[in-house]
Structure 1
Amino acid sequence: MEGGISDLILHGGKVPPHLMKRMIGLSEVIVDLMVEEFGPEEVVRRLSDPFWFQAFNNAIGMDWDSSGSTAVVLGILKRLSWEKEWEFLVLGGKGKNMLKVKEEAEEAGKKLDIAPEEVFQFSKSSARLDSALLQDGYDLYVHFVVLSRKRWTVVQQGMNVERKLARRYHLTDENRPWRNPHSAVSGIRGEALDASAPVAEKMAEISVDLINEGPSRVMTLLKVARAGLKGQRRLTGEFVIDPRAIRYYYPVRPSRQLENALKKAYEFKPSRKEDLLVAPGIGPKTVRALALISHLIYGYSPSFEDPVSSPLDPFAYAYAVGGKDGVPYPYDVKTADKVIEIMKEIVMKAKIGEKEKAKALARLGKLAERLKRGT
């Protein structure tokens, strides 16, 4: 299971230092074992699964439902991945740190022997996907890229202040060219305009054709489509088209800003629907305008289904060492410390070579000593 969405409650605050030390320690030992046993590609793959990510989050003691878990977990893994020889790296972050992906990709490219420009394009298209093609009311404020030589994942998060919720998105390079990228979705169903859904494929193709006809043509068709909205009610007052569409279509108006955005996209000369993820000028308003024209004039609409398919189980995997906020019980420091020792036995039973086994045990021993000293 790879790719998907998880909804979280919008929380503030910070992790106390004494708990953060344990979370870092648990993260290090768990990922150490995974890299030894399965390799870095498997770690990156599992981070693309929203359910596995939540289980990992709970195992190290973060709250099951906190919006801060995304930044904390990936912040820890970012720090460790650049310090250790795990052969995968975490880029980006929260707020202004999201913008560091481009420069960090340069260094990551040298370490992992991958093309920095491809990493940046992957990052950019992922952000575009969940801010413009999928419009679900959440504004992105967290963006991480996790890279190994063979597998890439983007984990990003949006905020809905009105609903007091955050939504985490997991996207993997294996889903490119973004065929049904939002699978395995767990959360609270809301409203959305989704131009990335499989049913919106024709609408996306028409959007590319419209862009290549030039801004003037699009603006003319937009006026026709807007006029058509007035005739979309039956005598009973019901809308002929999906009522959910009206929320996204009625605010769309011809403007100089929209025309300039369409001009930028036209100059890019997109040739396929995937180009909508990288062409300049393709923001939420542009997508809504193109969707309105495609829907009312050509008969092909985006999806208006929020890509949430199953409820979130709040307590799955939440009983390992407790939670920072005391749910399902207060963080158990002694148990967290003991986990390091228990992991030694797991390493002994792992099917790895004696040399690798000895190295893993040595690292775990040093880590256990550091945790006992509180360093």
Structure 2
Amino acid sequence: MAKRTGSADLPLHGGRVPAWLATRMSSLGAIVTQAIVHHYGRDEFLRRLSHPFWFQSFGAVMGMDWHSSGITTSVIGALKRSLGPLQDELGIHVCGGRGQHSRKTPDELRALGDRVGFDAVALTRASRLVAKVDSAAVQDGFDLYLHGFFVTNDGRWTVVQQGMNGDSKQARRYHWHSETVKSFVDAPHSAIDGPPHGEVVNLTDQRAAPSRSAQLDLLTALGADGIVDEFTALTGGQAAQPLLPHLIMPAHHDVRSSDVFTRRLHGTLAAAAERGPIDFPDLLLTPGVGARTVRSLAMVAEIVHGAPYRFRDPARFSLAHGGKDRHPYPVPIKVYDETIRVLKSAVQKARLGREEELDTLKRLDDQARQLERMASGPSLKEFVDGELEASASLGGRSVFGWEEDRRDPLAAAK
């Protein structure tokens, strides 16, 4: 007889994010967070996290596999590692995580409450209710295994949590935001992200209020054991136990033209070509990677400044730094490191009141949006083929190794 042991130990996407990518994801995640808070405030950062398309795009621009539900785990992990040292400066804290880390959320909130001064009891209750709603009140066949709780010094919060279904081999991510929650049982979600999965019993729908009331009456009248007995009598047996949670990646790994708004890609390429010589002349002098880095900076700038409607095609953001599984192409390490260097310099100078470098990134994003209406450029296939051709020279790396070694077996053997 199957017995649920919990999903905390189940691997996502075949294992962990490799250390060489995890460290870069943490660095880029921290810098993007600082830039958003600098421009728009920490409440806006919480709002971004509560938007499922932005969240997926954020993970894709970091070099995580664009289509993978593992983005949820890796992004939360990267932010928890990188924002820890910055929590006093930013006033943003990350609690929870996958598996056993999710169960530490109440303790982490209590410790923060003692240090920061917010109402840890109320926030712990919110954390538990959010988890309870998505595991019990929304009966959609997905079992929660990850709970990330983002909270600011003034007690505002966003929750990103994820469930998986072992039968369909799909994951579903749930987004919550304290600003939009008026009731934990009456249409509380800011978003639910995931594929359709048969019949869903959503007791948080406003139309389910009579059902919620009737269930409470039933529980009062019969008790939990009585309800089980009645159910067994009606069905002629016990309810089938759910399968152990198991996650498998979505059907296709490659980035296809149907996954990307090509005109937006063309706008990004045109803006990088036009603004690069004006705003990034020193970067363009970097042999081999300068112009390519400006393209990545344009995509990261959109993550910082873009409106929600800009993120309907998260796959497009994987074109900034590729993906660890070599889709759409290997992660260009030299470009990734240059992107981090330029952004880090811009954020550090902005903290000292020198906004010029951060302003250039904003102009780059503005220009991309203006040019996308008329810009032309390569097809997605042509663009990806060009990146694959240049991958070895850009320090291309994936979970399969360095691209240079893949192309030169003799070098790999040394």
| Deviation digits for residues 75-127 of structure 1 (CA, Å, limit 9, x no counterpart) | 11112222112201010111111111111011221343211111110110011
1:355 equivalent among 353, 356, 371: 353
Query: How many angstroms apart in 2 are the aligned matches of 1:162 and 1:87?
Result: 41
| Counterpart residue number, 1:26 | 28
Alpha-carbon distance, 1:166 to partner = 1.7
Moved more, 68-77 or 331-340: 331-340
| Counterpart residue number, 2:208 | 200
Which letter maps to 2:157? W
Residue 10 and residue 214 in structure 1: after superposition, are their counterparts in 2 closer, same or farther (change >3 A)?
A: same
Query: How many angstroms apart in 2 are the aligned matches of 1:108 and 1:189?
Result: 38
Q: Is the 8 A contact 2:57 2:314 kept in 1?
A: no
- For residues 1-375 of structure 1, what are the structure 2 equivalents within 5 Å? 11-84=13-86, 85-148=89-152, 149-173=154-178, 174-178=180-184, 179-182=186-189, 184-191=191-198, 192-213=200-221, 215=223, 219=226, 223=230, 313=313, 315-343=315-343, 355=353, 357=355
- CA-atom RMSD in angstroms: 3.3
Q: Is the 8 A contact 1:93 1:144 kept in 2?
A: yes
What SS does structure 1 have at the residue aligned with 2:149? strand
Residue 344 and residue 97 in structure 1: after superposition, are their counterparts in 2 closer, same or farther (change >3 A)?
A: closer
Query: How many angstroms apart in 1 are the aligned matches of 2:33 and 2:190?
Result: 25
Residue 251 and residue 129 in structure 1: after superposition, are their counterparts in 2 closer, same or farther (change >3 A)?
A: farther
Residue 340 and residue 211 in structure 1: after superposition, are their counterparts in 2 closer, same or farther (change >3 A)?
A: same
Q: Is the 8 A contact 1:141 1:159 kept in 2?
A: yes
Bigger RCO of structures 1 and 2 (CA < 8 A, at least 6 apart): 1
Query: How many angstroms apart in 2 are the aligned matches of 1:35 and 1:221?
Result: 50
| Counterpart residue number, 2:261 | none
Residue 113 and residue 313 in structure 1: after superposition, are their counterparts in 2 closer, same or farther (change >3 A)?
A: same
Structure 1 unaligned spans of 5+: 1-8, 230-248, 254-311, 362-375
Which letter maps to 2:171? A
| Deviation digits for residues 250-290 of structure 1 (CA, Å, limit 9, x no counterpart) | 8778xxxxxxxxxxxxxxxxxxxxxxxxxxxxxxxxxxxxx
Structure 2 unaligned spans of 5+: 1-10, 240-311, 360-414
Query: How many angstroms apart in 2 are the aligned matches of 1:160 and 1:319?
Result: 29
Alpha-carbon distance, 1:354 to partner = 5.6
Query: How many angstroms apart in 2 are the aligned matches of 1:250 and 1:195?
Result: 25
| Counterpart residue number, 2:290 | none
What SS does structure 1 have at the residue aligned with 2:90? coil
Alpha-carbon distance, 1:48 to partner = 1.1
Q: Is the 8 A contact 2:96 2:102 kept in 1?
A: yes
Q: Is the 8 A contact 1:171 1:181 kept in 2?
A: yes
Residue 108 and residue 52 in structure 1: after superposition, are their counterparts in 2 closer, same or farther (change >3 A)?
A: same
Q: Is the 8 A contact 2:203 2:211 kept in 1?
A: yes
Alpha-carbon distance, 1:53 to partner = 0.6
Q: Is the 8 A contact 1:138 1:166 kept in 2?
A: yes
Residue 194 and residue 222 in structure 1: after superposition, are their counterparts in 2 closer, same or farther (change >3 A)?
A: farther
Query: How many angstroms apart in 2 are the aligned matches of 1:187 and 1:346?
Result: 36
Q: Is the 8 A contact 1:134 1:194 kept in 2?
A: yes
Query: How many angstroms apart in 2 are the aligned matches of 1:57 and 1:122?
Result: 26
Aligned residue-pair number:
271
TM-score, normalised to structure 1, is 0.64
What SS does structure 1 have at the residue aligned with 2:318? coil
What SS does structure 2 have at the residue aligned with 1:190? coil
Q: Is the 8 A contact 1:36 1:356 kept in 2?
A: no
From the two aligned structures, give the one with the greater helix fraction: 2
Q: Is the 8 A contact 1:10 1:165 kept in 2?
A: no
